[in-house]
């Protein structure tokens, strides 16, 4: 049986002779999401063989970010690494120890590409960060660069609004008005990309497909190579952005909680299923129907959610993604 004591952390860096940005690519943040690991090992093999050449800047690969979860072939080791990701001087679990190694490593880089997969059958998508802002929740100044890179990954679906929408749900759930409690719980929404942005860089989470989809490692591989080319790290043509008329851009704008163990969905929902205003999404334990408040698409429906936690998100189409066209 694998124990945390037997494990170690591993990253591999390639640095070119020319000046350029510092990229980090991570796989297996969740141990059962292995498409990124396979793609990273494939790219490293091509660099080692000379098929790809890092000419400028640097790239660091982390094929297995959470070795305990990876060894156990499950999402987490002792908790979800992609939540509450901060250095902890008094680590309480294995994922805290990962964070104490990973967070300083992220801070040494300018750009993060984090490779994931998901449960349900659906097409790949990329999670992007907020618009440029000076707000307290997630101040940011690289929206143009981040979204320009997102359009070169090779997928057509884009989603933003995670932390702001998550934060609204947290504020609604908290009975106390204690700001310190609110900030502590909001930290739980911070994962790899949010931490990377907090260090002054920019970051994308690419969901490459269903966990066992044989095409998912190819999606991850194409995204890595396109990123290397777009940032000018390898000698390769700069990839063209996906055409605006082929894109689907969505923003998470509402989160609805499961209030009681008896709350039920009206049918089996999958992420990106379309909903119409007034359509019944579920039923509360007391028989009250739960209706969609606007036309949109459902995201992350959690049939096994616990009471007083996120049940599902609703997204709305983004109409001004063309502002980040170049």
Domain ranges of the chain: 10-246, 250-317
The overall longest dimension of the chain from CA atoms, in Å, is 66
Residue 12 has phi, psi (to 5 degrees) of: -130, 130
The CA dihedral of 64, 65, 66, 67, to the nearest 10 degrees, is 40
Q: Are 325 and 244 in contact (CB under 8 A)?
A: yes
What mean pLDDT comes out for the span 12-16? 98
Query: What pLDDT does residue 324 have?
Result: 54
Query: What pLDDT does residue 306 have?
Result: 86
**The Cα angle at residue 248 between residues 244 and 253, in degrees rounded to 5:** 125
> pLDDT tens, 50-60?
999 999 999 99
pLDDT confidence bin for 186, thresholds 50/70/90:
low
Write down the CATH number for the domain with range 250-317.
Answer: 2.40.50.100
Q: Are 86 and 99 in contact (CB under 8 A)?
A: yes
What mean pLDDT comes out for the span 213-234? 98
Share of the chain above pLDDT 70, in %: 92
Query: What pLDDT does residue 162 have?
Result: 87
What mean pLDDT comes out for the span 188-217? 94
Side by side, the strands of the sheet bearing 289-291 are 264-265, 280-283, 289-291
Q: Is the pLDDT of residue 170 over 80?
A: no
260 CB neighbour count, 10 Å cutoff? 12
Q: Are 207 and 127 in contact (CB under 8 A)?
A: yes
Pick the CATH number of 10-246 from 3.40.190.290, 3.40.630.10, 3.20.20.70, 3.30.2010.10: 3.40.630.10
Q: Is the pLDDT of residue 183 over 70?
A: no
**What percent of the chain is helix, strand and coil (3-state, nearest 5)?**
30, 25, 45
Query: What pLDDT does residue 289 have?
Result: 97
> pLDDT tens, 245-297?
899 999 999 999 999 999 999 999 999 999 999 999 999 999 999 999 999 99
Q: Is the pLDDT of residue 318 over 80?
A: yes
Query: What pLDDT does residue 178 have?
Result: 47
Query: What pLDDT does residue 323 have?
Result: 63
Q: 162 or 205: whose pLDDT is higher?
A: 205
What CA–CA distances, in Å, run from 39 to 81, 95, 130, 257, 297?
A: 21, 23, 27, 36, 30
């Amino acid at each position: 049986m694998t124990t945390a004591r037997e494990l170690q952390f591993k990253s591999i860096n390639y640095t070119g002779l020319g000046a350029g940005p510092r990229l980090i690519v991570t796989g297996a943040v969740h141990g059962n999401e292995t498409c990124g690991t396979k793609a990273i090992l494939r790219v490293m093999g091509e660099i080692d063989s000379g098929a790809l050449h890092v000419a400028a800047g640097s790239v660091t690969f982390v094929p297995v970010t959470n070795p305990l979860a990876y060894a156990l072939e499950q999402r987490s080791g002792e908790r979800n690494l992609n939540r509450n990701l901060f250095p902890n001087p008094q680590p309480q679990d294995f994922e805290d120890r990962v964070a104490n190694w990973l967070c300083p490593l992220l801070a040494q880089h300018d750009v993060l590409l984090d490779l994931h997969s998901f449960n349900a059958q659906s097409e790949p998508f990329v999670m992007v960060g907020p618009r440029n802002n000076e707000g307290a929740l997630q101040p940011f100044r690289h929206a143009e660069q981040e979204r320009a890179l997102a359009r070169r990954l090779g997928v057509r679906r884009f989603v933003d609004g995670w932390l702001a929408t998550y934060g609204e749900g947290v504020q609604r759930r908290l009975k106390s008005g204690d700001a310190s409690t609110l900030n502590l719980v909001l930290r739980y929404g911070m994962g790899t990309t949010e931490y990377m942005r907090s260090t002054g860089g920019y970051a994308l989470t690419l969901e490459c497909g269903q966990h066992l989809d044989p095409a998912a490692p190819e999606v991850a591989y194409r995204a890595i190579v396109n990123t290397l080319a777009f940032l000018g790290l390898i000698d390769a043509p700069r990839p063209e952005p996906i055409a605006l008329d082929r894109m689907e851009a969505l923003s998470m704008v509402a989160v609805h909680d499961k209030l009681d163990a008896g709350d039920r969905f009206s049918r089996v929902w999958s992420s990106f299923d379309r909903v119409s205003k007034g359509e019944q999404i579920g039923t509360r334990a007391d028989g009250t129907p739960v209706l969609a408040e606007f036309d949109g698409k459902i995201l992350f429906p959690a049939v096994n959610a616990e009471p007083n936690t996120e049940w599902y998100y609703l997204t709305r189409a983004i109409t001004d993604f063309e502002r980040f066209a170049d």
